[in-house]
Amino acid sequence: MTLLDDVISQASDGEATAMLRKLMIVAHRLKAAPLLTWVKNELNGYESKDDLPSYRGPMHVNVQALITGPMGSKGTNTLSSHGVPDGFEGLFKISFFDPLAGIQSLAEASDNVGVPWDPAVVGMYNGWIDAGKVPFLEYWGVYSATKTVPPSTLKGIVDIVRTKALEMALDLQSEFPNAGEVGGPTVEEPAVEAAVTHITNNIYGSVTGLAQGNEVRQKVTVKVGDLAGALTAAKSFLADEAVTALSKILTESGDDDEKRGRLASFAQSVKAGAVALAGGVAGNIAADGVVELANQFFGWASGAVS
């Protein structure tokens, strides 16, 4: 077995940190610095928000509060971000810088993870209540507040890392079977560098537009407005339930910008592993397929959407 075989096996059903350590060896032998950096960050934790992949945040979370009212009354409530002044959106968001092993440990717990607000922040929120900026019960205030993260969210982060490791191992293996082995190829070879660059971009990149140019690897051919043809093509990379969801998105009303926004969001979910795919299809390839299909269905020029 090769190192890539080990990564594939452990990404599918194994210990996540062991999988990353094997992938570290592959990245080191490939001399792929960005890939090696990602693996080390996942193992050791991230130090800067600038290096943080989007799947680690910032993400919106609920804020649960202990509230107090007249005559010493107490209760609990979920705080609203509505009316919170610009610049304070982070009170309702969270990012995860911890090593993947720590996140996985928290994901296996039965209780939500809680991150309390600083008392000074609680005081600011009470000030916004008094000023009528945020909706709240009359004569009530916030005593303490905590950002809450369900274990399912943490499990999702671990699953995305597994999926991305699996995708890159499969992509490398399909083109360079001996990648990661002693004496194997390195990024000094242009073809290897191109493949590794594509893989690394998929770690940090997002589908913010619907044009991928030459990066589209799942080719489709659809006539403008041909819904049946579009859905038939989609079945080559999406599971049946995902094809149904795509059908609704393609037929929803709205101008081109609205349609592009909905499709971009759907393609991002596909890439992140949140959408069911056809067997044997990687998320990044399926996302590229959605992009290409949408461009052809609506008659949009490739590269025209930012």
Which positions ≥6 away from 178 have C-beta within 8 Å? 2, 184, 185
Pairwise CA distance, residues 82 & 135, whole Å: 7
Q: Tell me: the pLDDT tens digits for 172-225?
A: 888 888 888 888 888 888 888 877 877 776 676 544 444 443 344 445 678 888
Domain ranges of the chain: 3-54+156-204, 56-98+112-153, 213-298
- Three-class SS string for 43-58? HHCCCCHHHCCHHHCC
Q: What is the dihedral of CA 64, 66, 69, 71, to 10 degrees?
A: 160
Dihedral sign (CA 20, 24, 30, 36): positive
Q: What is the mean pLDDT of the chain?
A: 84
Q: Tell me: the pLDDT tens digits for 37-93?
A: 999 999 999 998 878 888 888 888 889 999 999 988 999 999 888 888 888 988 999
Q: Specify the residue for token string 């810088």.
A: 97
Q: Quote the pLDDT of residue 196.
A: 80
Q: Which residue stretches of 14-84 are H helix?
A: 16-30, 33-44
CA dist list (Å): 126 to 24, 34, 76, 169: 48, 45, 15, 51
Q: Quote the pLDDT of residue 213.
A: 39
DSSP 8-state assignment for residue 229: H
Maximum pairwise Cα distance, the chain: 76
Q: Residues of the chain with pLDDT > 90: what percent?
A: 25
